[in-house]
Copies of this chain bind each other. A is one copy, B any other.
């Protein structure tokens, strides 16, 4: 039976049809719950499918229509905020027939472009792009041919749906908290906008504006200082080094991502500075690490799980053609105060 030739043939729709004594068209109809199948036909075909353990070949389906695949693009798998989003997507699609596949492209715009194109070439039914670092025009072009949800960027478009967090209010929450503790010299570590990517309202821009606006509201405009770096441990470390060795050292640093805050913390540690005694530190995203016993990082909760679930729901609506017009959903952030923030050091 098992001959040397390693591949045993797949069971195809033709096999099912033959086994059930019907046409392939009939089998296809049953699979798709299409109109025009008798109860008897239903049963015959389903029995044959079960008996042969038939699974439709997604690649072949892709030639004609859908592949029942959703692609998720993210830059850095280490940012556990994305894991929260991902859990949301997975939970939403758990009982559907869609498969979720993740492309972790890194921060490089070209690699992200390549990954998105790969997903489109694989005929994925829909894409969730988490704060893509590529040209806006690229995203719009993709969205024109494939249903797309953008998470993070506030720029709305009628070509794709958006799920965002009210990052401006998030920044306000943090600044207000720090000011109430007595801080005045508050710096922000944010992500570098991809140069000339034509996104007018990336999360980092909205966050920065919110920060600047809040600082102004507290008459602290002169202390406004933004350090740009990638949201990673290494990026945070560099930003921390730069800020904490500067002449006019901030007494508090807020960051746009927990993962970057931890990098700042590492830098502070190396410089012999204690958190929060010497410098207060605030993260963003309220990931699981923030709550670790030894970390206890004050952070802003963004409801990543809800964002992911919402994105998935919106995407499927579009994929299945149940909605025509684009939608933007905004989540409200919430400050979670922990041990990494306290009153500024007495000078």
Contact = CB atoms under 8 A, between A and B. Distances in A.
Interface stretch (A29-37, A38-46, A204-212, A262-270): A262-270
A32 B140 CA distance: 31
A248 B265 CA distance: 37
A77 B67 contact: no
- The quantity of this chain's copies bound in the complex is 2
Interface stretch (A100-108, A163-171, A175-183, A218-226): A100-108
A289 interface: yes
Contacts of A102: 77, 101-104
Contact of A67 (B6, B7, B122, B270): B122
A1 interface: no
A341 interface: no
Given A62-B59, A292-B262, A77 B86 contact: yes
A249 B95 CA distance: 43
A103 B104 contact: no
Interface in A77-95: 77-78, 80, 82-83, 86, 90
Given A8-B145, A269-B294, A294-B269, A67 B58 contact: no
22 contacts: A6-B145, A7-B144, A10-B145, A57-B121, A57-B123, A58-B122, A60-B62, A69-B118, A69-B122, A77-B80, A77-B82, A77-B86, A77-B102, A78-B80, A86-B104, A90-B106, A99-B114, A100-B103, A102-B102, A122-B122, A269-B294, A275-B294
Nearest to A55: B121
A47 interface: no
Contact of A289 (B58, B90, B289): B289
Contacts of A115: 99
Contacts of A121: 55-59
A283 to B, nearest CB: 13
Contacts of A288: 78, 233
Contacts of A80: 77-78
Contacts of A144: 6-8
Given A8-B144, A67-B122, A77-B86, A117 B265 contact: no
Contacts of A145: 6-8, 10
A86 B77 CA distance: 9
Contact of A294 (B57, B101, B233, B294): B294
Interface string A252-270: 0000000000100110111
A84 to B, nearest CB: 9
A203 to B, nearest CB: 21
Interface string A271-288: 000010000000000001
A246 interface: no
